[in-house]
């Protein structure tokens, strides 16, 4: 179950919705059994694309920002989920150290940090902020547009523990995706809980590992529902040793893109979909919508423009791109006032706690919406007459639609759990 | 943390509120540690009375009805809590058998059953209703005012398991308080979870055990906050072998009432409270506001009227009263449109999921409001500008007020947990 939300959108009717709604008890039981074997990420957000004929996650964020885009009505749900999460990890906790992005005075981001601080404070923790910015040696006060303030303090490391002055936390919560690399101050914190773990950061994490895990999850889930996993799974391929700026390794990308386009074309034919397939080439370690290009014909990759080469060679925090993922493009056919929209689902522990539509008026249905100019439309709670009704026509009930989004969001979260287990450098190996 | 709610009420300012709000992290941590040692009731509701100078629970219901009085906005929170509860008890569950009150076609009660069914369905269970009414041998369909229907089916007992035709549940959830006695069909269900346990039913349960446990909890909590436990604890005494109809055992009630009135008078003097104390005499096994009388002077008990004798001698389902509890009366000084109001807090597992005000226009501040003529005003979610602000003046912020109610509600729930452990007939005794 997820919060049942209303949306002003009327996306295409999805057969999937009917099947997911009918199978609700079976689905929830399946998740319960999965969570007996696997640990959910502490928090996460998932970008979805609804093509009408297919619904798939395209990005799973393990250091979610944008919490300020959720409605206030969502706060109790987030707090309740946070209570459940903390209780499992560290019930005796008094203090939580939150580590936000360094070098940011962006007020939207600060509003996100403030919201996170509020959630964990209301869950019953003293929350303070510590920064990875080593130039900060004294507490710094930052003003927010609403008149409130945030204080960011320098980290203090004492042997196996990380804290602040007079502040010894049980848990260190990262809201910094470590694109800039693994800071030594975070290594070897064996006496505390560091969440998410270091290998979830983009200095180490690879999208291809995530989508490999997602494929496994999607297959299991599709077996449960007796359906084609392709309906929820974006196909993908990968290439290593790519250097866009030098034009090296592009043959691999071209070959893989061509093969993937052929596979997608075959699927479109099977389902009678009259669309021109496309694939998305992304940095395997990228985030923030950087290092992404759309490809409709593999020939486009033979001789990319200077601009494309530059765009594709570096992602956030100057991180170099050398591995790429080539992913089936999923168009989004949801609209809000004529602007293209994609749903984003937010989770804490195993619970969906909210979501919003990312809307971009200047982008096409096949483009990435995580770009400057995007706006956010929170999904509000369902009104009484819109509470989910199993009898409602598929696509006619927004809460039913959002239940489906919550299920797919949770599948991606479960995939992240599989992924983090598979990539854990400290995992015990049983041979 | 509890949902932060708005209320149209402006009750008297409570010093307690300030202290509770300031201590939020310490309080939440304390609850987390308590729940490591004790199991919360599956669900519960607590009636509170706010006298301005004192805030106390007066009734803790382990078979809560009235779920239909909660707003729809509360549903996601209730569902999320239900998911957490089920996951702990029976993660592999597919089916939940809900046993409502027998012999009731009261549409308000049926709306409550429907709401419970909805909560647990959305938490991912197949929910069906089984009745203790042995005259029902075939499924019976009951219509609700909103046009929906409920089907109640005869129970089927097979050795150690209870179910319905073609329905084998993992958990049997009682919404029937067993005032009519312990039905043999519910005994010895060793292969399933029966919740709440049989000894939580009014055939066995005693208010005096609950308030003894509550006193223990209130003392612990008050030590944490460095305050007088009396501010949250209603004092009480008890008498056994009372027969109101025959006038037997009334000396004990009179003596205890007199002693309790003296104790309350002393407390009022200590705090400079200019009120006339009163005590409430209740059936120790009663519910539904039956078998209750207010006493301002113990002499009133010397020769009770015929009407009082009758009123006090029998409670719900014809159960005889022979033990009574004499409890300090806590006036309620909350009003809604001039009608006397008292808050009721609803919980699933350890989480506060909602609440409402019970309002009675024809009752006084010292009277029981759980009586014909009562109406229910749901507490809606807080608006953005009313989210809890630790800086807000005590009494000025309704969400802060409701946080306090949630804390006291949870103290009563914790007391119920202590109580059920202490009264468990199957408990292992370590000597």
SS3 track for B63-126: CCCCHHHCCHHHHHHHHHHHHHHHHHHCCCCCEEEEEECCCCCCHHHHHHHHHHHHHHHHCCCE
Q: What is the pLDDT of residues A350-375, one digit of tens each?
A: 999 988 888 877 777 777 767 666 77
What is the C-alpha end-to-end distance of chain A, expressed in Å? 38
User: Which structural domain, as residue segments, surrounds residue B296?
Assistant: 236-329
- Which position has the higher pLDDT, A389 or A207? A207
Residues B196 and B89 in one domain: yes
CB contact under 8 A, B76 and A77: yes
Instruction: Judge contact between A258 and A286, C-beta under 8 A.
Output: no
Cα–Cα distance, A182 to A163 (Å, whole number): 17
Instruction: Judge contact between A144 and A114, C-beta under 8 A.
Output: yes
pLDDT at site A76: 87
Burial class (CB in 10 A: 0-12, 13-18, 19+), A309: middle
Cα–Cα distance, A396 to A411 (Å, whole number): 24
Residue A38, pLDDT above cutoff 90 = yes
Size of chain A, expressed as the number of residues it contains: 431
Is B299 a member of any domain? yes
CB contact under 8 A, B72 and A387: yes
- Give the CATH number for residue B99: 3.40.50.11280
Is B159 a member of any domain? yes
How many Cβ pairs closer than 8 A exist between chain A and B?
Answer: 125
Q: Is A429 on the interface with B (CB under 8 A)?
A: no
CB contact under 8 A, A121 and B25: yes
pLDDT at site B316: 62
pLDDT at site A113: 96
Lowest mean pLDDT across A38-42, A248-252, B198-202:
A248-252
For residue A196, cis peptide bond before it (omega within 30 degrees of 0): yes
Residues 6+ apart with CB under 8 A from A411: A57, A214, A217, A218, A221, A232
Task: Give the phi and the psi of residue A121 in degrees, each rounded to 5.
Answer: -65, -45
Task: Write out the two tokens for B223.
Answer: 């030590």
For an interface test with B, give the residue of A25, A34, A127 to mutate (most B CBs within 10 A).
A25
Report the residue of chain B nearest A90, measured CA to CA: B32
CB contact under 8 A, B29 and A94: yes
Among B179, B200, B221, the domain-final residue is: B200
Cβ-nearest to B4 among A76, A87, A121: A76
Residue A52, pLDDT above cutoff 80 = yes
Residues 6+ apart with CB under 8 A from A203: A178, A179, A180, A181, A182, A285, A319
Cα–Cα distance, B213 to A25 (Å, whole number): 37
- Which position has the higher pLDDT, A387 or A16? A16
Is A284 a member of any domain? yes
Q: What is the pLDDT of residues B36-54, one digit of tens each?
A: 999 999 999 999 998 888 9
Instruction: Judge contact between A87 and B28, C-beta under 8 A.
Output: no
CB contact under 8 A, A72 and B382: yes
Instruction: Judge contact between B287 and B45, C-beta under 8 A.
Output: no
pLDDT at site B319: 66
pLDDT at site B12: 46
Mean of the pLDDT values across residues A215-224? 98
- Which position has the higher pLDDT, B383 or B13? B13
Residues 6+ apart with CB under 8 A from A251: none
Residue B399, pLDDT above cutoff 70 = no
Report the residue of chain B nearest A28, measured CA to CA: B124
Instruction: List CB contacts (< 8 A) between B121 and chain A.
Output: 24-25
Helix (H, G, I), strand (E, B) or coil at A406: helix
Q: Which of A290-294, A324-328, B378-382 has the highest mean pLDDT?
A: A324-328
**Sign of torsion over alpha carbons B302, B306, B311, B312:** positive
Q: What is the pLDDT of residues A163-185, one digit of tens each?
A: 999 999 999 999 999 988 899 99
> What kind and span of H or E run contains B17?
helix B15-22
Is B186 a member of any domain? yes
Report the residue of chain A nearest B25, measured CA to CA: A124
Cα–Cα distance, B141 to B121 (Å, whole number): 19
Residues B133 and B181 in one domain: yes
Instruction: List CB contacts (< 8 A) between A96 and chain B.
Output: none
pLDDT at site A104: 79
Instruction: Judge contact between B8 and B383, C-beta under 8 A.
Output: no
pLDDT at site B248: 82
Residue B321, pLDDT above cutoff 90 = no
CA atoms within 13 A on the CB side of B250: 18
Residues A229 and A320 in one domain: no
Is B30 a member of any domain? yes
Lowest mean pLDDT across A170-174, B100-104, B105-109, B358-362:
B358-362
pLDDT at site B424: 93
Residue A384, pLDDT above cutoff 90 = no
CB contact under 8 A, B80 and A79: no
Cα–Cα distance, B356 to B142 (Å, whole number): 27
- Which position has the higher pLDDT, B369 or A108? A108
Cβ-nearest to B79 among A1, A121, A122: A1
Cβ-nearest to A123 among B1, B3, B81: B1
Residues B194 and B157 in one domain: yes
Residue B418, pLDDT above cutoff 90 = yes
Residues B222 and B255 in one domain: no
CB contact under 8 A, B4 and A75: yes
Is B431 a member of any domain? no
Cα–Cα distance, B83 to A349 (Å, whole number): 12
- Which position has the higher pLDDT, B215 or B405? B215
For an interface test with B, give the residue of A28, A38, A171 to mutate (most B CBs within 10 A).
A28
Instruction: Judge contact between B210 and B415, C-beta under 8 A.
Output: yes
Mean pLDDT of chain B: 85
Task: Write out the two tokens for A55.
Answer: 């619904």
Neighbours of A425 (CB within 10 A): 8
Cα–Cα distance, B118 to B125 (Å, whole number): 10
CB contact under 8 A, A80 and B83: no
Report the residue of chain A nearest B89, measured CA to CA: A32
- Which position has the higher pLDDT, A14 or A201? A201
- Select from B74, B65, B118 the least CA-distant residue to B96: B118
pLDDT at site B136: 94
CB contact under 8 A, A83 and B351: yes
Instruction: List CB contacts (< 8 A) between A79 and chain B.
Output: 1
Burial class (CB in 10 A: 0-12, 13-18, 19+), A65: buried
Under the banding of pLDDT at 50, 70 and 90, the label for residue A5 is very low
Q: Is B305 on the interface with A (CB under 8 A)?
A: no
Q: What is the ipTM of this complex?
A: 0.85
Cα–Cα distance, A219 to A217 (Å, whole number): 5
Q: What is the pLDDT of residues A265-291, one digit of tens each?
A: 999 999 988 889 999 998 888 655 556
Residues A388 and A337 in one domain: yes
> What kind and span of H or E run contains A32?
helix A24-37
Q: Is A86 on the interface with B (CB under 8 A)?
A: yes
CB contact under 8 A, A384 and B72: yes
pLDDT at site B306: 72
CB contact under 8 A, B32 and A87: yes
pLDDT at site B239: 92
Under the banding of pLDDT at 50, 70 and 90, the label for residue B397 is low
Residues B77 and B193 in one domain: yes
Cα–Cα distance, B111 to B148 (Å, whole number): 10
- Give the CATH number for residue A240: 3.30.1490
- Select from B333, B30, B297, B82 the least CA-distant residue to A80: B82
Residues A88 and A149 in one domain: yes
Residue A138, pLDDT above cutoff 60 = yes
Instruction: Judge contact between B352 and B409, C-beta under 8 A.
Output: yes
Q: Is A384 on the interface with B (CB under 8 A)?
A: yes
- Nearest-neighbour CA in chain A from B251: distance (Å): 48
Q: How far is CA B97 from CA A245, A256, B116, in A?
A: 64, 53, 11
Task: Write out the two tokens for A319.
Answer: 């991180």
Cβ-nearest to B36 among A32, A91, A121: A91
Residues A323 and A337 in one domain: no
- Considering just the CA atoms, what is the radius of gyration of chain B in Å? 21
Q: What is the pLDDT of residues A53-68, one digit of tens each?
A: 899 999 999 999 999 9
For an interface test with A, give the residue of B72, B80, B127, B167 to mutate (most A CBs within 10 A).
B80
Mean of the pLDDT values across residues B18-40? 93
Determine what percent of chain B is predicted with pLDDT higher than 90.
Answer: 56
pLDDT at site A3: 40
CB contact under 8 A, B73 and A72: no
Decide the pairing of beta strands B380-381 and B324-328.
unpaired
Neighbours of B217 (CB within 10 A): 24
Cβ-nearest to B351 among A80, A86, A91: A80
Mean of the pLDDT values across residues B272-286? 88
What is the C-alpha end-to-end distance of chain B, expressed in Å? 38
- Nearest-neighbour CA in chain A from B256: distance (Å): 41
Residues A230 and A371 in one domain: yes
Among A150, A184, A200, the domain-final residue is: A200
Mean pLDDT of chain A: 85
pLDDT at site B51: 87
Among B304, B329, B354, the domain-final residue is: B329
CB contact under 8 A, B92 and A388: no
Task: Indicate the number of domains in chain A.
Answer: 3
- Which position has the higher pLDDT, A221 or A427? A221
Helix (H, G, I), strand (E, B) or coil at B51: coil
CB contact under 8 A, A124 and B29: yes
DSSP letter assigned to residue B387: S
For an interface test with A, give the residue of B25, B87, B95, B348 to mutate (most A CBs within 10 A).
B25
- Which position has the higher pLDDT, B174 or B309? B174
Is B155 a member of any domain? yes
Determine what percent of chain B is predicted with pLDDT higher than 70.
Answer: 84
Is B430 a member of any domain? no
Task: Write out the two tokens for B248.
Answer: 């037997």
- Nearest-neighbour CA in chain B from A354: distance (Å): 10
Residues B191 and B218 in one domain: no
- Nearest-neighbour CA in chain B from A379: distance (Å): 13
Cα–Cα distance, A366 to B261 (Å, whole number): 76
pLDDT at site A329: 94
Decide the pairing of beta strands A156-158 and B292-295.
unpaired
Q: Which residue has the tokens 């969001």?
A: A409
Q: Is B348 on the interface with A (CB under 8 A)?
A: no
User: What are the start-end ranges of the E strands in B207-338?
Assistant: 236-239, 279-283, 292-295, 324-328, 334-336
Size of chain B, expressed as the number of residues it contains: 431
- Nearest-neighbour CA in chain B from A242: distance (Å): 45
CB contact under 8 A, B83 and A124: no
Cβ-nearest to A124 among B25, B72, B122: B25
Residue A240, pLDDT above cutoff 60 = yes
Instruction: Judge contact between A78 and A110, C-beta under 8 A.
Output: no
Which residues lie across from A237 on neighbouring strands?
Answer: A326
CB contact under 8 A, A77 and B81: no
Residue A429, pLDDT above cutoff 90 = no
Cα–Cα distance, B366 to A184 (Å, whole number): 64
Q: What is the pLDDT of residues A188-212, one digit of tens each?
A: 998 999 999 999 998 899 999 999 9
Instruction: Judge contact between B222 and B231, C-beta under 8 A.
Output: yes
Instruction: Judge contact between B180 and B201, C-beta under 8 A.
Output: no
Q: Pseudo-torsion of CA B406, B407, B411, B416, nearest 10°? A: 20
Residue A80, pLDDT above cutoff 60 = yes
Residue A35, pLDDT above cutoff 80 = yes
Instruction: Judge contact between B95 and B128, C-beta under 8 A.
Output: yes
Q: Pseudo-torsion of CA A52, A54, A59, A64, nearest 10°? A: 50
Helix (H, G, I), strand (E, B) or coil at A132: coil
Residues B366 and B324 in one domain: no
DSSP string, A274-313: -----EEEEETT--TT-SEEEESSGGGGTS--HHHHHHHH
Task: Give the phi and the psi of residue B97 in degrees, each rounded to 5.
Answer: -100, 120
Q: Which residue has the tokens 């409570």?
A: B14
pLDDT at site B380: 43
Largest CA distance in chain A: 64
């Amino acid at each position: 179950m997820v919060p049942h939300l209303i949306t002003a959108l009327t996306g295409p009717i999805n057969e999937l919705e009917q099947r997911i709604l009918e199978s609700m008890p079976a689905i929830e039981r399946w998740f319960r059994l999965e969570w007996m074997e696997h640990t959910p990420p502490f928090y996460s957000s998932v970008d979805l694309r609804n093509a009408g004929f297919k619904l798939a996650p395209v990005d799973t964020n393990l250091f979610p920002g944008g919490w300020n885009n959720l409605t206030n009505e969502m706060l109790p749900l987030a707090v309740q989920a946070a209570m459940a999460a903390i209780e499992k990890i560290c019930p005796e906790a008094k203090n939580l150290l939150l580590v936000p992005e360094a070098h940011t005075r962006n007020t939207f981001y600060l509003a996100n940090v403030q919201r996170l601080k509020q959630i964990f404070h209301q869950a019953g923790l003293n929350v303070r902020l510590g920064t990875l910015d080593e130039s900060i040696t004294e507490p710094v006060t930052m003003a927010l547009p609403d008149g409130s303030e945030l204080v960011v303090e320098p980290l203090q490391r004492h042997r196996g523990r990380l804290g602040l002055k007079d502040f010894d936390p049980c848990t260190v919560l990262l809201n910094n995706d470590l694109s800039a690399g693994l800071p030594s101050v975070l290594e070897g914190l064996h006496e505390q809980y560091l969440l998410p773990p270091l290998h979830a950061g983009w200095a180490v994490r690879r999208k291809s590992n995530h989508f490999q895990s997602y494929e496994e999850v999607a297959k299991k889930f599709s077996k449960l529902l007796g359906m084609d996993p392709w309906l929820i799974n974006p196909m993908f391929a990968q290439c290593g040793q790519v250097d866009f700026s030098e034009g090296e390794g592009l043959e691999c990308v071209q070959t893989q893109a061509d093969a993937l386009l052929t596979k997608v074309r075959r699927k479109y034919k099977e389902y009678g979909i009259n669309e021109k397939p496309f694939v998305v080439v992304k940095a395997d370690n990228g985030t923030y919508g950087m290092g992404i290009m759309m490809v409709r014909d593999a020939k486009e990759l033979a001789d990319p423009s200077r601009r494309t080469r530059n765009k594709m060679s570096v992602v956030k925090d100057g991180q170099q791109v050398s591995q790429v993922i080539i992913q089936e493009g999923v168009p989004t056919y949801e609209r809000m006032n004529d602007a293209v929209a994609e749903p984003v689902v937010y989770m804490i522990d195993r619970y969906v706690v909210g979501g919003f539509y990312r809307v971009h008026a200047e982008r096409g249905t096949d483009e990435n919406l995580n770009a400057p100019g995007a706006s956010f439309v929170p999904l509000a709670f369902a009104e009484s007459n819109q509470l989910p009704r199993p009898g409602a026509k598929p696509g006619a009930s927004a809460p039913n639609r959002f239940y489906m989004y919550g299920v797919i969001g949770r599948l991606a979260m479960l995939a992240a759990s599989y992924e983090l287990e598979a990539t854990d450098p400290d995992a015990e190996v049983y041979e």
